[in-house]
Structure 1
Amino acid sequence: MRKLGLIGGMSWLSTRTYYEHINRLVQARAGQRASAPLLIESLDYSNLQRLSTAEEWKHAASVLSDSARRLEAAGATALLIGANAMHKVYGEVASSVSIPIIHIAECVAARMAAKGVKKAALIGTRNVMVESFYRQKLIARDIELLPPEMAFVETLDRIIYDELLVGKASRQSERELKTILTNLEQDGAEAVVLGCTELEMIVDVDANVLPIYDCTRIHAEAAVDWIMGEG
Protein backbone atom coordinates (compact mmCIF):
# COMPACT_ATOMS: atom_id res chain seq x y z
CA MET A 1 0.00 0.00 0.00
CA ARG A 2 1.14 3.54 -0.75
CA LYS A 3 1.68 5.99 2.10
CA LEU A 4 -0.67 8.98 2.23
CA GLY A 5 -0.17 12.31 3.98
CA LEU A 6 -3.04 14.18 5.64
CA ILE A 7 -2.88 17.86 6.52
CA GLY A 8 -5.33 17.92 9.41
CA GLY A 9 -6.38 19.73 12.53
CA MET A 10 -8.90 21.88 10.65
CA SER A 11 -10.71 20.84 12.86
CA TRP A 12 -9.29 17.89 14.80
CA LEU A 13 -12.81 16.43 14.71
CA SER A 14 -12.58 16.36 10.94
CA THR A 15 -9.17 14.66 11.13
CA ARG A 16 -10.63 11.97 13.37
CA THR A 17 -13.41 11.39 10.83
CA TYR A 18 -10.90 11.08 7.98
CA TYR A 19 -8.81 8.61 9.99
CA GLU A 20 -11.81 6.44 10.74
CA HIS A 21 -13.24 6.51 7.20
CA ILE A 22 -9.87 5.72 5.58
CA ASN A 23 -9.04 2.86 7.90
CA ARG A 24 -12.48 1.26 7.67
CA LEU A 25 -12.27 1.37 3.88
CA VAL A 26 -8.76 -0.11 3.88
CA GLN A 27 -10.00 -2.90 6.16
CA ALA A 28 -12.89 -3.59 3.80
CA ARG A 29 -10.52 -3.93 0.86
CA ALA A 30 -7.38 -5.43 2.41
CA GLY A 31 -8.72 -7.44 5.35
CA GLN A 32 -9.71 -6.87 8.96
CA ARG A 33 -6.12 -6.80 10.20
CA ALA A 34 -5.05 -4.14 7.73
CA SER A 35 -4.62 -0.44 8.54
CA ALA A 36 -3.80 2.51 6.35
CA PRO A 37 -0.20 3.76 6.09
CA LEU A 38 -0.74 7.42 6.98
CA LEU A 39 1.31 10.45 7.89
CA ILE A 40 -0.78 13.08 9.69
CA GLU A 41 0.24 16.61 10.55
CA SER A 42 -2.38 18.24 12.73
CA LEU A 43 -2.25 22.02 12.50
CA ASP A 44 -3.41 24.53 15.10
CA TYR A 45 -6.72 25.68 13.66
CA SER A 46 -7.11 28.62 16.04
CA ASN A 47 -5.10 30.78 13.64
CA LEU A 48 -6.67 29.43 10.46
CA GLN A 49 -10.42 29.84 10.89
CA ARG A 50 -12.79 32.53 9.66
CA LEU A 51 -10.16 34.01 7.36
CA SER A 52 -11.25 37.02 5.35
CA THR A 53 -8.39 39.25 4.21
CA ALA A 54 -5.91 38.52 1.43
CA GLU A 55 -3.10 38.66 3.98
CA GLU A 56 -4.78 36.05 6.17
CA TRP A 57 -5.24 33.70 3.23
CA LYS A 58 -1.63 34.25 2.16
CA HIS A 59 -0.56 33.19 5.66
CA ALA A 60 -2.79 30.10 5.46
CA ALA A 61 -1.25 29.14 2.12
CA SER A 62 2.21 29.43 3.65
CA VAL A 63 1.28 27.31 6.68
CA LEU A 64 -0.29 24.56 4.56
CA SER A 65 2.54 24.61 2.03
CA ASP A 66 5.10 24.15 4.80
CA SER A 67 3.05 21.23 6.11
CA ALA A 68 2.82 19.67 2.65
CA ARG A 69 6.58 19.87 2.21
CA ARG A 70 7.20 18.21 5.57
CA LEU A 71 4.83 15.36 4.74
CA GLU A 72 6.44 14.86 1.34
CA ALA A 73 9.90 14.79 2.93
CA ALA A 74 8.64 12.22 5.44
CA GLY A 75 7.63 9.84 2.65
CA ALA A 76 4.04 10.64 1.66
CA THR A 77 3.29 9.73 -1.95
CA ALA A 78 0.12 11.88 -2.15
CA LEU A 79 -1.66 14.35 0.13
CA LEU A 80 -5.09 15.30 1.37
CA ILE A 81 -6.10 18.66 2.82
CA GLY A 82 -8.63 17.67 5.49
CA ALA A 83 -10.84 20.74 5.15
CA ASN A 84 -13.09 22.13 2.41
CA ALA A 85 -12.47 25.84 2.95
CA MET A 86 -8.69 25.42 2.82
CA HIS A 87 -8.97 24.28 -0.78
CA LYS A 88 -9.13 28.00 -1.56
CA VAL A 89 -5.31 27.85 -1.38
CA TYR A 90 -5.07 24.48 -3.11
CA GLY A 91 -3.11 25.89 -6.04
CA GLU A 92 -0.42 27.44 -3.87
CA VAL A 93 -0.06 24.30 -1.75
CA ALA A 94 -0.02 21.95 -4.76
CA SER A 95 2.72 24.00 -6.41
CA SER A 96 4.91 23.68 -3.30
CA VAL A 97 5.33 19.89 -3.61
CA SER A 98 6.07 17.36 -6.34
CA ILE A 99 3.47 14.80 -5.22
CA PRO A 100 -0.25 14.99 -6.06
CA ILE A 101 -2.82 16.55 -3.75
CA ILE A 102 -6.24 14.95 -4.11
CA HIS A 103 -8.76 17.79 -4.49
CA ILE A 104 -11.92 17.30 -2.45
CA ALA A 105 -14.29 19.17 -4.79
CA GLU A 106 -12.97 17.35 -7.86
CA CYS A 107 -13.71 14.02 -6.15
CA VAL A 108 -17.24 15.14 -5.29
CA ALA A 109 -17.88 16.54 -8.77
CA ALA A 110 -16.71 13.32 -10.42
CA ARG A 111 -19.00 11.23 -8.21
CA MET A 112 -22.02 13.45 -8.91
CA ALA A 113 -21.38 13.50 -12.63
CA ALA A 114 -21.13 9.71 -12.65
CA LYS A 115 -24.52 9.56 -10.92
CA GLY A 116 -26.05 11.92 -13.46
CA VAL A 117 -26.79 14.79 -11.06
CA LYS A 118 -27.63 17.93 -13.01
CA LYS A 119 -28.82 20.38 -10.35
CA ALA A 120 -27.57 20.54 -6.78
CA ALA A 121 -27.08 22.72 -3.73
CA LEU A 122 -23.78 23.29 -1.96
CA ILE A 123 -23.76 23.90 1.79
CA GLY A 124 -20.82 24.68 4.05
CA THR A 125 -19.05 27.71 5.46
CA ARG A 126 -19.58 31.15 3.98
CA ASN A 127 -16.57 31.13 1.66
CA VAL A 128 -17.33 27.62 0.35
CA MET A 129 -20.93 28.58 -0.43
CA VAL A 130 -20.34 32.05 -1.81
CA GLU A 131 -16.90 32.08 -3.47
CA SER A 132 -16.02 30.38 -6.76
CA PHE A 133 -13.01 28.19 -5.84
CA TYR A 134 -15.22 25.25 -4.80
CA ARG A 135 -18.32 25.88 -6.88
CA GLN A 136 -16.37 26.03 -10.15
CA LYS A 137 -15.24 22.41 -9.75
CA LEU A 138 -18.87 21.27 -9.77
CA ILE A 139 -19.95 23.64 -12.53
CA ALA A 140 -17.09 22.35 -14.69
CA ARG A 141 -18.87 18.98 -14.65
CA ASP A 142 -22.08 20.57 -15.96
CA ILE A 143 -23.72 20.50 -12.54
CA GLU A 144 -25.98 23.51 -12.06
CA LEU A 145 -25.74 24.91 -8.53
CA LEU A 146 -28.53 26.76 -6.78
CA PRO A 147 -27.46 30.31 -5.86
CA PRO A 148 -26.55 30.61 -2.18
CA GLU A 149 -29.38 32.01 -0.05
CA MET A 150 -27.80 34.41 2.42
CA ALA A 151 -30.15 33.41 5.24
CA PHE A 152 -28.89 29.82 4.88
CA VAL A 153 -25.30 31.03 4.62
CA GLU A 154 -25.54 32.93 7.91
CA THR A 155 -27.21 30.01 9.70
CA LEU A 156 -24.70 27.44 8.47
CA ASP A 157 -21.69 29.63 9.19
CA ARG A 158 -22.89 30.12 12.76
CA ILE A 159 -23.60 26.43 13.33
CA ILE A 160 -20.27 25.32 11.90
CA TYR A 161 -18.01 27.81 13.66
CA ASP A 162 -19.86 28.26 16.94
CA GLU A 163 -20.94 24.66 17.48
CA LEU A 164 -19.52 21.91 15.28
CA LEU A 165 -15.89 23.04 15.38
CA VAL A 166 -15.97 22.81 19.17
CA GLY A 167 -17.63 19.40 19.12
CA LYS A 168 -21.19 20.50 19.84
CA ALA A 169 -24.04 18.92 17.86
CA SER A 170 -27.38 20.25 19.12
CA ARG A 171 -30.91 19.09 18.33
CA GLN A 172 -31.75 22.66 17.37
CA SER A 173 -29.03 22.66 14.72
CA GLU A 174 -30.22 19.30 13.42
CA ARG A 175 -33.70 20.76 13.02
CA GLU A 176 -32.36 23.87 11.30
CA LEU A 177 -30.38 21.73 8.85
CA LYS A 178 -33.39 19.57 8.12
CA THR A 179 -35.42 22.70 7.34
CA ILE A 180 -32.69 24.00 5.03
CA LEU A 181 -32.52 20.66 3.18
CA THR A 182 -36.29 20.60 2.75
CA ASN A 183 -36.23 24.13 1.33
CA LEU A 184 -33.43 23.22 -1.07
CA GLU A 185 -35.46 20.30 -2.36
CA GLN A 186 -38.42 22.63 -2.91
CA ASP A 187 -36.10 24.98 -4.79
CA GLY A 188 -35.31 22.21 -7.27
CA ALA A 189 -32.10 20.64 -5.97
CA GLU A 190 -31.65 17.00 -6.98
CA ALA A 191 -28.88 16.51 -4.42
CA VAL A 192 -26.93 18.35 -1.72
CA VAL A 193 -23.17 18.55 -1.27
CA LEU A 194 -21.95 18.65 2.33
CA GLY A 195 -19.12 21.10 1.71
CA CYS A 196 -17.96 21.04 5.32
CA THR A 197 -16.30 18.04 6.90
CA GLU A 198 -18.10 18.51 10.24
CA LEU A 199 -21.65 18.74 8.87
CA GLU A 200 -22.15 14.98 9.04
CA MET A 201 -22.35 15.48 12.82
CA ILE A 202 -25.88 16.86 12.37
CA VAL A 203 -26.98 15.43 9.01
CA ASP A 204 -28.05 11.83 8.52
CA VAL A 205 -26.20 11.24 5.26
CA ASP A 206 -27.88 7.90 4.54
CA ALA A 207 -31.49 8.85 5.34
CA ASN A 208 -32.60 12.22 4.07
CA VAL A 209 -35.11 13.95 1.84
CA LEU A 210 -32.40 14.39 -0.83
CA PRO A 211 -29.35 12.38 -1.88
CA ILE A 212 -26.45 13.68 0.22
CA TYR A 213 -22.93 13.78 -1.18
CA ASP A 214 -20.70 13.72 1.89
CA CYS A 215 -17.44 15.35 0.85
CA THR A 216 -15.45 13.68 3.65
CA ARG A 217 -16.54 10.16 2.76
CA ILE A 218 -15.96 10.73 -0.94
CA HIS A 219 -12.54 12.30 -0.32
CA ALA A 220 -11.60 9.39 1.96
CA GLU A 221 -12.66 6.89 -0.72
CA ALA A 222 -10.42 8.63 -3.25
CA ALA A 223 -7.60 8.52 -0.70
CA VAL A 224 -8.03 4.77 -0.29
CA ASP A 225 -8.03 4.30 -4.06
CA TRP A 226 -4.60 5.95 -4.01
CA ILE A 227 -3.36 3.92 -1.04
CA MET A 228 -4.42 0.68 -2.73
CA GLY A 229 -2.76 1.69 -6.00
CA GLU A 230 -6.06 2.24 -7.80
CA GLY A 231 -5.96 6.03 -8.04
Structure 2
Amino acid sequence: MSTSMKTIGLVGGMSWESSAAYYRALNLGVQRRLGGYSSPSLVLSTVDFARLTELGDAEKWDQIGALLAEAARGVERAGADFLLLCTTTYHKVADEVAAAVDIPLLHLADVVADACQEAGVSTVGFIGTTVAMTDGFFTERMEDHGLKALIPAPEHHEFLNSAIYDELVHGKVEDATRRRVVEIIDELWDAGAEGVLLGCTELEQLIHQADCDIPVFPCTTLHVEAALDRALPATS
Protein backbone atom coordinates (compact mmCIF):
# COMPACT_ATOMS: atom_id res chain seq x y z
CA MET A 1 0.00 0.00 0.00
CA SER A 2 2.93 2.34 0.66
CA THR A 3 4.82 1.71 -2.58
CA SER A 4 3.49 4.88 -4.22
CA MET A 5 3.91 7.03 -1.11
CA LYS A 6 5.76 10.28 -1.76
CA THR A 7 8.64 11.33 0.45
CA ILE A 8 7.94 14.37 2.62
CA GLY A 9 10.86 16.72 3.18
CA LEU A 10 11.01 18.61 6.47
CA VAL A 11 13.22 21.53 7.43
CA GLY A 12 12.98 21.77 11.21
CA GLY A 13 14.75 22.77 14.38
CA MET A 14 12.68 25.93 14.84
CA SER A 15 12.31 24.77 17.63
CA TRP A 16 13.00 21.06 18.19
CA GLU A 17 9.60 20.93 19.90
CA SER A 18 8.11 21.98 16.57
CA SER A 19 10.03 19.29 14.69
CA ALA A 20 8.86 16.69 17.19
CA ALA A 21 5.26 17.82 16.75
CA TYR A 22 5.48 17.48 12.97
CA TYR A 23 7.19 14.08 13.17
CA ARG A 24 4.67 12.70 15.63
CA ALA A 25 1.65 14.08 13.78
CA LEU A 26 2.82 12.74 10.43
CA ASN A 27 3.35 9.27 11.85
CA LEU A 28 0.02 9.25 13.66
CA GLY A 29 -1.68 10.49 10.51
CA VAL A 30 -0.29 7.67 8.39
CA GLN A 31 -1.27 5.16 11.07
CA ARG A 32 -4.79 6.57 11.10
CA ARG A 33 -5.10 6.51 7.34
CA LEU A 34 -3.30 3.29 6.41
CA GLY A 35 -3.13 1.23 9.60
CA GLY A 36 -0.91 -1.79 10.17
CA TYR A 37 2.78 -1.01 10.40
CA SER A 38 2.59 1.91 7.98
CA SER A 39 4.71 5.00 8.59
CA PRO A 40 5.56 7.98 6.40
CA SER A 41 8.54 8.33 4.12
CA LEU A 42 10.35 11.36 5.57
CA VAL A 43 13.58 13.28 5.16
CA LEU A 44 14.33 15.70 8.01
CA SER A 45 17.04 18.34 8.26
CA THR A 46 17.23 20.42 11.43
CA VAL A 47 19.02 23.70 11.98
CA ASP A 48 20.48 25.34 15.07
CA PHE A 49 17.63 27.35 16.58
CA ALA A 50 20.05 29.41 18.69
CA ARG A 51 21.84 30.56 15.54
CA LEU A 52 18.60 31.46 13.76
CA THR A 53 17.30 33.33 16.81
CA GLU A 54 20.54 35.28 17.01
CA LEU A 55 20.32 36.20 13.33
CA GLY A 56 16.65 37.12 13.67
CA ASP A 57 17.35 39.43 16.59
CA ALA A 58 19.99 41.11 14.40
CA GLU A 59 17.50 41.37 11.49
CA LYS A 60 19.84 39.32 9.29
CA TRP A 61 17.06 37.59 7.41
CA ASP A 62 19.16 37.19 4.28
CA GLN A 63 21.47 34.91 6.26
CA ILE A 64 18.51 33.02 7.70
CA GLY A 65 17.18 32.51 4.19
CA ALA A 66 20.55 31.18 3.05
CA LEU A 67 20.77 28.72 5.96
CA LEU A 68 17.26 27.38 5.44
CA ALA A 69 17.77 27.20 1.68
CA GLU A 70 20.87 25.06 2.20
CA ALA A 71 18.93 22.78 4.55
CA ALA A 72 16.18 22.50 1.95
CA ARG A 73 18.68 21.58 -0.77
CA GLY A 74 19.97 18.82 1.49
CA VAL A 75 16.46 17.49 1.93
CA GLU A 76 15.94 17.58 -1.82
CA ARG A 77 19.21 15.71 -2.45
CA ALA A 78 18.08 13.08 0.05
CA GLY A 79 15.06 12.29 -2.10
CA ALA A 80 12.17 14.42 -0.87
CA ASP A 81 9.32 14.92 -3.35
CA PHE A 82 8.09 18.12 -1.70
CA LEU A 83 9.04 20.32 1.21
CA LEU A 84 7.57 21.69 4.46
CA LEU A 85 9.07 24.31 6.75
CA CYS A 86 8.26 23.16 10.29
CA THR A 87 7.68 26.72 11.49
CA THR A 88 5.43 29.73 11.02
CA THR A 89 7.83 32.56 11.81
CA TYR A 90 10.52 31.44 9.39
CA HIS A 91 8.04 31.34 6.53
CA LYS A 92 9.25 34.93 6.31
CA VAL A 93 11.97 33.50 4.02
CA ALA A 94 9.78 30.84 2.37
CA ASP A 95 10.10 32.42 -1.07
CA GLU A 96 13.90 32.27 -0.86
CA VAL A 97 13.77 28.64 0.24
CA ALA A 98 11.31 27.71 -2.51
CA ALA A 99 13.55 29.35 -5.12
CA ALA A 100 16.55 27.30 -3.96
CA VAL A 101 15.04 23.89 -4.74
CA ASP A 102 13.35 22.16 -7.66
CA ILE A 103 10.70 20.46 -5.53
CA PRO A 104 7.47 22.21 -4.44
CA LEU A 105 7.23 23.95 -1.07
CA LEU A 106 3.86 23.41 0.63
CA HIS A 107 3.33 26.91 2.06
CA LEU A 108 1.63 26.99 5.46
CA ALA A 109 -0.37 30.16 4.76
CA ASP A 110 -1.92 28.65 1.63
CA VAL A 111 -2.94 25.52 3.55
CA VAL A 112 -4.46 27.52 6.40
CA ALA A 113 -6.28 29.87 4.05
CA ASP A 114 -7.86 26.90 2.30
CA ALA A 115 -9.04 25.52 5.66
CA CYS A 116 -10.55 28.86 6.69
CA GLN A 117 -12.41 29.20 3.41
CA GLU A 118 -13.66 25.63 3.64
CA ALA A 119 -15.03 26.46 7.11
CA GLY A 120 -16.75 29.59 5.80
CA VAL A 121 -14.52 31.93 7.82
CA SER A 122 -13.53 35.20 6.17
CA THR A 123 -12.04 37.11 9.15
CA VAL A 124 -9.59 35.30 11.38
CA GLY A 125 -7.47 36.23 14.38
CA PHE A 126 -3.77 35.40 14.22
CA ILE A 127 -1.53 34.82 17.24
CA GLY A 128 2.15 33.92 17.09
CA THR A 129 5.58 35.43 17.56
CA THR A 130 6.04 39.18 17.30
CA VAL A 131 7.72 38.78 13.92
CA ALA A 132 4.91 36.64 12.55
CA MET A 133 2.20 38.97 13.85
CA THR A 134 3.72 42.28 12.78
CA ASP A 135 5.86 41.67 9.70
CA GLY A 136 2.97 40.93 7.35
CA PHE A 137 4.55 38.08 5.38
CA PHE A 138 1.96 35.60 6.68
CA THR A 139 -1.16 37.74 7.10
CA GLU A 140 -0.66 39.37 3.68
CA ARG A 141 -0.47 35.97 2.04
CA MET A 142 -3.73 35.08 3.79
CA GLU A 143 -5.22 38.29 2.42
CA ASP A 144 -4.15 37.23 -1.07
CA HIS A 145 -6.68 34.43 -0.62
CA GLY A 146 -9.43 36.93 0.25
CA LEU A 147 -9.20 36.54 4.04
CA LYS A 148 -8.91 39.33 6.59
CA ALA A 149 -6.40 38.65 9.37
CA LEU A 150 -6.61 40.41 12.74
CA ILE A 151 -3.66 40.48 15.13
CA PRO A 152 -3.76 41.17 18.87
CA ALA A 153 -3.33 44.68 20.23
CA PRO A 154 0.34 45.74 20.49
CA GLU A 155 0.34 45.54 24.29
CA HIS A 156 -0.04 41.75 24.02
CA HIS A 157 2.85 41.11 21.62
CA GLU A 158 5.65 40.92 24.16
CA PHE A 159 3.66 38.54 26.33
CA LEU A 160 2.84 36.20 23.43
CA ASN A 161 6.43 36.24 22.21
CA SER A 162 7.70 35.46 25.70
CA ALA A 163 5.17 32.66 26.15
CA ILE A 164 6.51 31.03 23.00
CA TYR A 165 10.26 31.58 23.43
CA ASP A 166 10.57 31.37 27.21
CA GLU A 167 8.06 28.59 27.87
CA LEU A 168 6.68 26.61 24.94
CA VAL A 169 9.87 26.03 22.95
CA HIS A 170 11.23 24.48 26.16
CA GLY A 171 8.15 22.28 26.59
CA LYS A 172 6.74 24.33 29.49
CA VAL A 173 2.94 24.57 29.41
CA GLU A 174 1.55 26.90 32.08
CA ASP A 175 -2.13 27.23 33.03
CA ALA A 176 -1.73 30.93 33.78
CA THR A 177 -0.34 31.51 30.29
CA ARG A 178 -3.20 29.56 28.76
CA ARG A 179 -5.78 31.68 30.57
CA ARG A 180 -4.22 34.91 29.37
CA VAL A 181 -3.90 33.70 25.78
CA VAL A 182 -7.59 32.73 25.83
CA GLU A 183 -8.39 36.26 27.00
CA ILE A 184 -6.44 37.63 24.03
CA ILE A 185 -8.36 35.31 21.70
CA ASP A 186 -11.62 36.58 23.20
CA GLU A 187 -10.52 40.15 22.41
CA LEU A 188 -9.95 39.12 18.80
CA TRP A 189 -13.43 37.58 18.77
CA ASP A 190 -14.88 40.84 20.05
CA ALA A 191 -13.00 42.66 17.27
CA GLY A 192 -14.73 40.55 14.63
CA ALA A 193 -12.65 37.39 14.28
CA GLU A 194 -14.71 34.35 13.29
CA GLY A 195 -11.89 31.99 14.20
CA VAL A 196 -8.31 32.06 15.44
CA LEU A 197 -5.11 30.75 13.90
CA LEU A 198 -2.55 29.21 16.21
CA GLY A 199 0.26 30.79 14.22
CA CYS A 200 3.13 29.04 15.95
CA THR A 201 3.63 25.29 16.13
CA GLU A 202 4.28 25.31 19.87
CA LEU A 203 0.97 27.09 20.60
CA GLU A 204 -0.80 23.81 19.88
CA GLN A 205 0.67 22.48 23.13
CA LEU A 206 -1.13 25.27 24.97
CA ILE A 207 -4.42 26.05 23.25
CA HIS A 208 -7.07 23.57 22.15
CA GLN A 209 -10.56 23.92 20.76
CA ALA A 210 -12.06 23.14 24.18
CA ASP A 211 -10.39 26.28 25.57
CA CYS A 212 -12.08 28.65 23.12
CA ASP A 213 -15.56 29.75 22.13
CA ILE A 214 -14.62 30.37 18.49
CA PRO A 215 -13.20 27.94 15.94
CA VAL A 216 -9.50 27.21 16.40
CA PHE A 217 -7.34 26.58 13.34
CA PRO A 218 -4.22 24.68 14.45
CA CYS A 219 -1.73 25.55 11.73
CA THR A 220 0.62 22.61 12.25
CA THR A 221 -2.20 20.05 12.26
CA LEU A 222 -3.58 21.53 9.05
CA HIS A 223 -0.11 21.57 7.47
CA VAL A 224 0.42 17.91 8.34
CA GLU A 225 -2.95 16.84 6.95
CA ALA A 226 -2.28 18.69 3.70
CA ALA A 227 1.14 17.01 3.46
CA LEU A 228 -0.44 13.59 3.97
CA ASP A 229 -3.06 14.34 1.31
CA ARG A 230 -0.20 15.03 -1.10
CA ALA A 231 2.07 12.17 -0.02
CA LEU A 232 -0.28 9.23 0.27
CA PRO A 233 -1.75 7.26 -2.61
CA ALA A 234 -5.32 8.14 -3.44
CA THR A 235 -7.90 5.69 -2.18
CA SER A 236 -11.29 5.06 -3.68
TM band (smaller chain)? over 0.9
CA distance in 1, matches of 2:49, 2:200: 15
Structure 1 unmatched runs, 5+: none
Taking the aligned partners of 2:10 and 2:160, their CA distance within structure 1 comes to 26
Q: Which one is further off, 216-225 or 141-150?
A: 141-150
Q: 1 CA distance for matches of 2:207 and 2:213? A: 11
> Do residues 179 (structure 1) and 162 (structure 2) align?
no
- How far did 1:118 drift? 1.4
Q: How do 1:78-89 residues align onto structure 2 when only pairs under 5 Å count?
A: 78-89=82-93
CA contact (8 A) 2:11 2:45 kept: yes
**For 2:231 and 2:140, how far apart are their aligned partners in 1?**
27
Q: What is the DSSP-based 3-state SS (H/G/I as helix, E as strand, rest coil) of the residue aligned with 2:53? A: coil
Residue in structure 2 matched with residue 123 of structure 1 by the alignment: 127
The offset of 1:205, in angstroms, is: 3.1
**TM-score of the pair, normalised by structure 2:** 0.93
Counterpart in the other structure of 2:150:
146
Question: Match of 1:205?
Answer: 209
Distance (whole Å) between structure 2 residues aligned to residue 136 and residue 146 of structure 1:
11
Quick one: which amino acid aligns to residue 99 of structure 2?
A: S
Question: Residues 181 and 209 of structure 1 are in contact (CA less than 8 Å); yes or no, is this contact kept in structure 2?
Answer: no
One-letter amino acid of the structure 1 residue matched with residue 88 of structure 2: N
**Letter in structure 2 aligned against 1:200:** E
Q: Say which SS state the counterpart of residue 48 (structure 1) adopts.
A: helix
Asked if structure 2 preserves the Cα contact closer than 8 Å seen for 1:5 and 1:72, the reply is: yes
The answer as to whether partners of 1:130 and 1:148 remain within 8 angstroms in 2 is: no
Q: Does 1:188 align with 2:192?
A: yes
Match of residue 27, structure 1, among 17, 27, 31: 31
1:57 has 2:61 as partner: yes
Corresponding position: 1:66 with 2:65: no
Distance 2:24 2:231 in 1: 15
Q: Which of residues 25, 43, 46 is equivalent to 2:47?
A: 43
Report what 1:5 is aligned to: 9
- Distance apart, 1:108 and its partner CA: 0.2
Runs of 4 or more, structure 1, over 4 Å off, are none
Structure 1's 17 and 189: CA in aligned 2 closer, same or farther, altered over 3 A? Answer: same
Code of the aligned partner of 2:6 = R
Q: Distance in 1 between matches of 2:233 and 2:65?
A: 29
Q: Which residue of 1 aligns with 2:108?
A: 104
Partner in structure 2 of residue 158 of structure 1 = 162
Structure 2: gaps (5+ residues): none
Contact 1:27 1:34 in 2 (8 A): yes
Per-residue deviation, 1:114: 1.6
User: TM-score under structure 1 normalisation?
Assistant: 0.95
